[in-house]
């Protein structure tokens, strides 16, 4: 909004020319979202307590009883600060910005419905798995269907390390991209089981995709690095900046011992948005490296459930997802969290290094 209002005046007031730069506005989007989260966070947590959004703790897992009653649905704070900050700093005539926001808020709405039934209405189960999945698919399908109509966007698939092999998936791109979005959303949800465990790697992954999005949106840099160039997506860097800021602001309160959890409204929306920026940047496959922590957590569940069924009750891990395994081995929560963060930074650096390996 600031861009749309003030940049046109730059012919008369030279200093407003600075609003032209995506990098400048992305940094300010980060700072704005961070500030909103930190300033309004305590009031939001008090409100969640007042409306009794306390977390119910399952009895069968690692000992988390001390966390019972911690307010959840803190994802509302993330969505609000990202939305306000993006609306303030992004070019609102850019369709990719609106599509990204639609995915973010759409996945958030599915998570909100689940949390609302579980936490506020005190229904044990929340949304059924089927309803949740259908909701996620509907949001993903709508966004991808609109995206592939954009003339600048192609249905080719960029394969890391092979700059000359970019198969065109045609109509099959729609289900493929839907799997990326829904998969990312659920992977982040599975990871969100220890204080700061999901938001830490999410901040790292979003910072990494801010770079990929900026590069892909910049014709010269994209050509130089031989990455797909999608004209116009550079503006989504502003959204990624806001996500990093809101994520850090949320971590301020979610750091161990957490004062608030994000709930499904947070985990589903963050995961969906992460999947979508990977699709936008045409780095769908690289998402598996950038979001390596989320992938390992999901794989641990797939392996555990598969092995459990095949062997009639035997387990590979003490408990899946992976963080439960380490907890049950007696490793302190804060150590597991920080080690997962370290891993996520390493994976993001590896992914960034592929920019030069083509």
Rule CB under 6 A: which residues touch ligand 57M? 55, 57-58, 60-61, 64, 67, 72, 189-190, 192-195, 254, 258, 261-264, 267, 301, 304-305, 308, 315, 319-321
Could you give the C-alpha distances from 176 to 163, 169, 252, 284, in angstroms and in order? 20, 9, 35, 9
Is 257 within 8 Å of 120 (Cβ atoms)? Answer: no
- Taken as a whole, the chain contains a residue count of 358
159: β partners: 162
CB of 279 to ligand 57M, least distance (A): 23
CB of 24 to ligand 57M, least distance (A): 33
CB of 229 to ligand 57M, least distance (A): 36
Count the helix, strand and coil residues of the chain and give each as a percent rounded to the nearest 5: 70, 0, 30
Q: Residue 261 — φ and ψ, nearest 5°? A: -105, 160
177: Cα within 13 Å, side-chain hemisphere: 34
Instruction: State which residue, 126 or 245, has the beta carbon closest to ligand 57M.
Output: 126
Instruction: State which residue, 58 or 149, has the beta carbon closest to ligand 57M.
Output: 58
Instruction: State which residue, 233 or 273, has the beta carbon closest to ligand 57M.
Output: 273
CB of 55 to ligand 57M, least distance (A): 5
Instruction: State which residue, 12 or 59, has the beta carbon closest to ligand 57M.
Output: 59
- Dihedral (C-alpha) 201, 206, 207, 208: value to the nearest 10 degrees? 90
- Give me the residue whose beta carbon is nearest to ligand 57M: 61
> How many CB atoms within 10 Å of residue 257?
11
Name every residue whose Cβ is closer than 8 Å to that of residue 104 and which is 6 or more positions away in sequence: 79, 82, 83, 239, 269, 272, 273, 276
Taking the CA atoms of 247, 248, 253 and 258 in sequence, report the sign of the dihedral they define.
positive
CB of 320 to ligand 57M, least distance (A): 4
Instruction: State which residue, 114 or 284, has the beta carbon closest to ligand 57M.
Output: 114
Is 99 within 8 Å of 147 (Cβ atoms)? Answer: yes
Instruction: State which residue, 3 or 253, has the beta carbon closest to ligand 57M.
Output: 253
CB of 28 to ligand 57M, least distance (A): 28
CB of 37 to ligand 57M, least distance (A): 15
Instruction: State which residue, 281 or 295, has the beta carbon closest to ligand 57M.
Output: 295
Instruction: State which residue, 176 or 308, has the beta carbon closest to ligand 57M.
Output: 308
> How many CB atoms within 10 Å of residue 42?
12
Describe the crossing of helices 199-217 and 263-280 by its angle, rounded to 10 degrees. 30
CB of 340 to ligand 57M, least distance (A): 12
């Amino acid at each position: 909004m600031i861009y749309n209002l003030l940049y046109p005046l730059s012919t008369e007031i030279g200093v407003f020319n600075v609003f032209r730069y995506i990098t400048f506005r992305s940094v300010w989007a980060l700072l704005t979202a961070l500030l909103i989260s930190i300033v309004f966070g305590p009031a939001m947590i008090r409100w969640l307590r007042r409306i009794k959004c306390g977390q119910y703790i399952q009895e069968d897992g690692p000992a988390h009883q001390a966390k019972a009653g911690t307010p959840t649905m803190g994802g509302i704070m993330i969505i609000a600060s990202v939305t306000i900050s993006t609306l303030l700093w992004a070019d609102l005539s850019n369709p990719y910005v609106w599509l990204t926001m639609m995915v973010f808020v759409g996945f958030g709405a599915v998570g909100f419905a689940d949390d609302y039934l579980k936490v506020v209405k005190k229904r044990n189960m929340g949304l059924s798995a089927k309803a949740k999945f259908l909701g996620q698919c509907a949001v993903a399908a709508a966004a991808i269907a609109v995206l592939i109509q954009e003339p600048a966007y192609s249905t080719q698939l960029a394969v890391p390390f092979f700059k000359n092999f970019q198969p065109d998936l045609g109509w099959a791109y729609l289900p493929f991209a839907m799997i990326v979005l829904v998969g990312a959303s659920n992977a982040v949800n599975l990871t969100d089981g220890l204080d700061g465990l999901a938001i830490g790697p999410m901040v790292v992954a979003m910072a990494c995709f801010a770079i990929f999005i900026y590069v892909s949106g910049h014709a010269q840099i994209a050509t130089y690095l031989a990455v797909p160039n999608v004209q116009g997506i550079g503006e989504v860097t502003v959204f990624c900046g806001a996500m990093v800021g809101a994520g850090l602001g949320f971590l301020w309160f979610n750091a161990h011992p957490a004062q608030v959890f994000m709930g499904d409204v947070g985990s589903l929306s963050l995961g969906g948005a992460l999947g979508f920026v990977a699709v936008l940047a045409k780095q769908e496959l690289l998402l598996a490296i950038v979001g390596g922590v989320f992938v390992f957590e999901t794989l641990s569940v797939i392996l555990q459930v598969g092995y459990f069924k095949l062997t009639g009750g035997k387990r590979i891990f003490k408990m899946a997802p992976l963080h439960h395994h380490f907890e049950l081995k007696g490793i302190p929560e804060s150590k597991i969290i920080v080690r997962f963060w370290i891993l996520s930074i390493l994976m993001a650096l590896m992914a960034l290094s592929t920019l030069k390996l083509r």
